[in-house]
Amino acid sequence: MATSNNAASAVGSRIRHARRSRRMSQASLAGLVERSESWMRGIEAGRIHLDRYSVIDRLADVLEVEVSWLLGEPFAPSRDVGHSAVPALRTALRRTSLCLSEHPGLHPVTAPMLLTDLRVEVDRITRRRQAANLLEVMRQLPGLTESLNTGALLSSGPERDVVDGLIIETSHVARMVLKQLGYPDLAWTAVENAATAAARLDDPLMSACSAWDRCGALLGPDTVDEALTVAEAALTELQKLMSTPTPQVLSLWGALHLRCAVAAARLHDAANAWKYLAEAEAVATRLGVDRNDFQTVFGPTNCEIHAAEIAVALGQPDIALKHHGGLNLAGVTSKERRTRYRIEVARAHGQLKNDAAAVHQLQQAAFLAPQYVYNHPTVRDLVAELRGRAQPSAVDVGLCAIERAMRRP
């Protein structure tokens, strides 16, 4: 992949900008990508061309930016978010179900990887998902899923248990991104693969984690009652570990209560929605800090985020905005969670017909994670509602710009 001098200079400028925004020195960044400081100076000055995708990918990962932005590729949120990877991912997920069921006659389609390398790749895709980077997640998912399939086929004993755990983590990532991109059938395949892997492990924590993920797939208009049923059943099983709970048990206990709270709110059951939230808040207070066990991002701050979401679902936007007033998101490591919170605040403003304020929140959300926002079904519904009212104040602050970004080819 060759680049011209002008292109190399532009890429170098973007690397320098991203590095400085993260307050990193050239030496620090160089060390993280296993290069010299002089090499980094040459890259940022445009004297050295980036011609290896693996290095570009590593730079983007460390700097927490998209490869497309780093290379100056035009952003096309409505299409270029990884849809082209879906056929390969569909095949890989189907093979995962066969591998986990130990179907005879299967053969690996990728070279085996060390468990340590698989761990690194799963951690990388998890960071990308929590950074709401849909495109990079979808680029990585098919290959990583097949690598885990190979691990499932070739490993045994303790090594197989490690692979099964990594499959559960990766299936969670797949469920999140596939559901948002409009592939609920594939999202369900991913969570069922996770459930099979959890059953093979015979670990109550992994079973609870799998149930939490199933609820995420079921929190749709037609299956929200099933989400509540699954979450309540998982809580009954997890109760056995609550006599002397570890922080991980408490995180799952609280996260499952948040699932119940959201499901109850969407079923318009206000009493139980707030009751479930209160239990989650009590657990979060017991933990005392924001954690991220099993990718749940559970803690006091996430309970506040869910309080806003629950209030909006119940048609109580004033309560949502009351929670918004004093919330500090600094402790939430997941950009996806922070972005989703901005969307919920925008919805609250929309319910109150404070359309300019709603647009402002969507702009802030899009600044954090444009791919996530412009492809989110909830945002599309909200923007259509705002466009229908066409308040001059909303148009003046940027409603039309958001619409254009969502229609961009």
For position 231, which CATH number holds? 1.25.40
Considering the domain architecture, whether residues 88 and 197 belong to the same structural domain is answered as yes
Distance CA 286, CA 401 (A): 44
CA-based Rg of the chain, rounded to a whole angstrom? 22
Structural domain count of the chain: 4
* 238 and 139 both lie in a single domain: no
Q: Answer yes or no: are the C-beta atoms of 118 and 156 closer than 8 Å.
A: no
Tell me, what's the pLDDT at 66?
Answer: 66
The residue ranking higher by pLDDT, 231 or 221, is: 231
Q: Based on the number of CB atoms within 10 Å of its own CB, is 11 exposed (0-12), middle (13-18) or buried (19 or more)?
A: buried
Query: What pLDDT, on the 0 to 100 scale, is given for residue 249?
Result: 97
289-302 pLDDT, tens digit each: 999 999 999 999 99
Whether 22 and 83 map to the same domain: the answer is no
What pLDDT is attached to residue 306? 94
pLDDT at 80 over 60: no
Q: Is the pLDDT of residue 167 over 50?
A: yes
Residue 76 has what pLDDT? 39
Helix (H, G, I), strand (E, B) or coil at 225: helix
86 and 53 within one domain? no
pLDDT at 72: 65
Asked if pLDDT for residue 391 goes beyond 50, the answer is yes
Q: In the chain, pLDDT over 90 holds for what percent of residues?
A: 64
Tell me, yes or no, whether 187 and 103 share the same domain: yes
* Per-residue confidence (pLDDT) for residue 82, from 0 to 100: 77
Share above pLDDT 70 across residues of the chain, in percent, rounded to a whole number: 92
Separation between Cα atoms, residue 221 and residue 381, nearest integer Å: 14
Contacts 24+ apart (CB under 8 A), 177-183: 177/82, 177/129, 177/134, 177/137, 177/138, 177/141, 178/86, 178/89, 179/216, 179/217, 180/134, 180/372, 180/375, 180/376, 180/377, 181/81, 181/82, 181/83, 181/86, 181/134, 181/138, 181/375, 182/377, 183/86
Whether the pTM exceeds 0.75: the reply is yes
**pLDDT score for 79:** 46
pLDDT at 75: 39
Q: Does residue 218 sit in the same domain as residue 290?
A: yes
Nearest 5 degrees, angle CA 356-CA 372-CA 399? Answer: 20
Residue 183's pLDDT is what?
87
pLDDT above 70 for 74: no
We report the CATH number of the domain holding residue 19 as 1.10.260.40
Q: Rounded CA gap, 198 and 316, in Å?
A: 38
Whether the CA torsion 373, 379, 380, 382 is positive or negative: it is negative
Q: Are residues 209 and 321 in the same domain?
A: yes
**Structure tokens, 197:** 């892997």
* C-alpha separations of 243 from 47, 236, 253 in Å: 62, 13, 12
- Is the pLDDT at 21 greater than 80? The verdict is no
Any idea which of 171-175, 181-185, 265-269 has the lowest mean pLDDT?
Answer: 181-185
pLDDT tens readout for residues 49-65: 776 666 777 788 788 77
Of 186, 201, 216, the domain-final residue:
201
9-19 confidence digits (pLDDT tens): 778 888 888 78
Predicted confidence (pLDDT) at residue 348 exceeds the cutoff of 50: yes
Domain closes at, from 150, 185, 201: 201
Q: What is the reported pLDDT for 142? A: 96
**pLDDT for the residue numbered 62:** 81
Tell me the DSSP string of 67-115: HHHHTTPPP-TTTTTTGGGHHHHHHHHHHHHHHHTT-TT---SS----H
Q: Which of 299, 333, 367 is the last residue of a domain?
A: 333
Q: What is the pLDDT of residue 73?
A: 52
Query: In this predicted structure, what is the pLDDT of residue 181?
Result: 83
pLDDT higher than threshold 60 for residue 78: no
pLDDT bin (cut points 50, 70, 90) of residue 68 is low
Cα distance between residue 119 and residue 297, in whole Å: 19
Say if residue 343 is in the same domain as residue 292: no
Domain co-membership, 197 together with 91: yes
pLDDT at 383 > cutoff 80: yes
Best CA proximity match to 130, nearest among 289, 311, 337: 337
Residues 340 and 300 in one domain: no
Which stretch, 15-19, 84-88, 210-214, has highest mean pLDDT?
A: 210-214
Contacts for 340-343: CB closer than 8 Å, 24+ residues apart = 340/305, 340/309, 341/305, 341/308, 341/309, 342/368, 343/373, 343/376, 343/378, 343/379, 343/382
Residues in Cβ contact with 331 at an 8 Å cutoff, skipping those fewer than 6 apart: 289, 290, 299, 300, 301
What's the mean per-residue pLDDT of the chain? 89
What pLDDT is attached to residue 77? 39
Provide the residue range defining the domain that includes 95. Answer: 78-201
Do 184 and 116 belong to one domain? Answer: yes
pLDDT(145) > 90: yes
| Residues 168, 93 share a domain | yes
Question: Does residue 48 contact residue 37 with C-beta atoms inside 8 Å?
Answer: no
Q: Is 35 helix (H, G, I), strand (E, B) or coil?
A: coil
